[in-house]
Structure 1
């Protein structure tokens, strides 16, 4: 059945399958680390530091990974990412007494490199598989890949909480390492060798984008993801656990459902932002949805300070934020692939996701520090400030559709 499909569709399915498998383990690993080390008595800032190298090396990886993808081919960078995640998981199989903060940070650093190699490869590959001037198809494929990835990341959160509650940290890590190793071996055999390889030998200096549109979009992306992670990554799971006595299962399940819903909305973004194939995203839409998103964390912060039903306000606010954020993210994901050059697409995509990783890094560090010293409301106001910057930057994006 698979062999009867067009070659580009077969490659898209393999790339998506790799991305899905990786994302499932990545989401589960994040939830396992947050909940397990919180259970061991680590504070919010300590937990945030465990992810410091994960996010930092994501920045470096996207910068160099785009150049490597253009030089070696996206199949190789994707397979390297899968292999590195297996190694990162294996590093956490040591007894609990050996899982010191430096060791876990090192494992997370390797996982961060793996994650961004995999994501950069998957997003870049779509550009090479969709025919030129097929913007509607490109938008749908990007939305489907991005949305399904985040839905599976949510399943990974659920899986992480479930596995920690049932079979424990060590056995959960072992099971994921074995499963991903099988996926990696299959990918080595199935993914074709020349995917995304630049026809010209890419220069090292080309890692930094010279495109005005991509530079502007990258800056907007940095603050967009910083605005999410400054309250979602560390503050929310710790707050739900400490303030409402939610156990691992409840925290993991809620965050899983949130990310799954977020992914579904991303997949549906083409239908939400434009009902016809001709209505493809522009800077105007990116600007509108960024401004709308800015109001949500501010409303939640005000609600938490002035109302009695704190839990209801927080959970409903999270849902609304997730919906609008998902549309923003999907618009950005399309625009970067659309703006990227045809030859050596991973160079542009890698630079853009470097900014994305920088936003996550800043958001993660601030999430632990601000929550620990000032509380959740302060995290929400910082999120609002970041989104104001995203909105302002979005005014400089091209406001009309380009082919």
Structure 2
């Protein structure tokens, strides 16, 4: 621990804080991905229907919407270090709630734990991405895009690793001890963060008013609407439908499902981290529209392949890998644009509003994932996904160039 502290102390302040924020974000993300996979697979094994499994995540997504809206305001008033640490602490409590005996793991109890986890996740994400704005010199958009892409891409790669770890822990140590292990790791991370993270990073110079939670910026409102449909399009097939479909239709084991989901998200995260090289560092709103249109076409092609039953395993595995690559570029572009469009004083307010829309998209996608899959199957989930992405592309037409924001 002392050797690590001395090495960090020798680095430039902005680099040091960026590494600490990323370290927090990474560890939290692994537990978040593992927890999602553990809950989906464990409760499906217990006989829960796809819609009932989706219901377990309902409060997770609902409270994510509320947290992003209010979390930006809290970050501006308290400082982003505090909101990040609060998120870590709440995730530890949520994991602890799921260590109770199996007879106590009722639907309301699990939903309450998931609600706490949803609040924790969005406090952590909002704090991490908002902090980057404060560490990059004003006007250096290329560096901003690069740092955001690395943070976002590495986070999603590790979320994929979390999916794999979740499936592995479920098949080795079981549901309860998986929660104990993850809570212990996060406790160490929290203690390190409390000691080493700057105290006032992201704290607004003027006290943010509660009424300022809602964005008055045209570009941010447009980008937030596009983000809502983009993430609804992913989760409508990814969250509930795909894991259950792979096990029920193809007979994949829990570890195989977790491994595929992990590979998908790790690849997705890698593409996110190199997005500036693919799109160019001077990307703007027009780039977001073009890449969304390309993603809509690919999604429709995958949906058609699944519907017609043409080599379904190949279509799903290869088609969704292509989807992941294009989705990663879209997501990385959005993550950069929101930080670029956001004002510097009180950045967390704008970022929080944007991620509120992101959480609303996840909520919509999660509910539809269980409901549509149960009634109509995976192909209809994918058709709805294609329609949502097409809407995101149309909305993105109104996005300005970064220099105009």
Whether the TM-score (by the shorter chain) exceeds 0.5 is yes
1:106 corresponding residue in structure 2: 112
- Aligned: 1:202 with 2:198: no
Of residues 64, 67, 72, the one that matches 1:66 is: 72
User: CA–CA distance in 1 between the matches of 2:169 and 2:364?
Assistant: 29
- Aligned: 1:55 with 2:46: no
- 1:39-59: per-residue Cα shift (whole Å, max 9, x none)? 111110000000000000000
- TM (norm. structure 2) is 0.97
TM superposition shift of 1:305: 2.6
1:327 corresponding residue in structure 2: 329
User: CA–CA distance in 2 between the matches of 1:318 and 1:170?
Assistant: 32
- Aligned: 1:172 with 2:191: no
- 1:292-320: per-residue Cα shift (whole Å, max 9, x none)? 00012210111123344111111111100
1:7 corresponding residue in structure 2: 13
- Aligned: 1:313 with 2:315: yes
TM superposition shift of 1:399: 4.2
User: CA–CA distance in 2 between the matches of 1:263 and 1:334?
Assistant: 15
User: CA–CA distance in 2 between the matches of 1:262 and 1:235?
Assistant: 19
* 1:281/1:334 contact within 8 Å kept: no
Give matches, 1:1-400, under 5 Å: 1-274=7-280, 279-399=281-401
Q: Alignment length, in residue pairs?
A: 399
User: CA–CA distance in 2 between the matches of 1:84 and 1:366?
Assistant: 27
Gaps of 5+ in 1: none
Cα RMSD of the aligned pairs, angstroms, is: 0.9
User: CA–CA distance in 1 between the matches of 2:11 and 2:36?
Assistant: 36
2:4 corresponding residue in structure 1: none
- 1:217-273: per-residue Cα shift (whole Å, max 9, x none)? 000000000000001110000000100111100000000010000000000101111
* 1:284/1:400 contact within 8 Å kept: no
Secondary structure at the counterpart of residue 64 of structure 1: helix
TM superposition shift of 1:400: 6.2
User: CA–CA distance in 2 between the matches of 1:297 and 1:397?
Assistant: 23
Secondary structure at the counterpart of residue 61 of structure 1: helix
Gaps of 5+ in 2: 1-6
* 1:281/1:401 contact within 8 Å kept: no
User: CA–CA distance in 2 between the matches of 1:380 and 1:152?
Assistant: 25
- 1:159-178: per-residue Cα shift (whole Å, max 9, x none)? 00000011111111100011
- 1:162-199: per-residue Cα shift (whole Å, max 9, x none)? 00011111111100011101111111111111000000
User: CA–CA distance in 1 between the matches of 2:305 and 2:229?
Assistant: 23
Moved over 6 A (4+): none
* 1:63/1:350 contact within 8 Å kept: yes
User: CA–CA distance in 1 between the matches of 2:403 and 2:273?
Assistant: 21
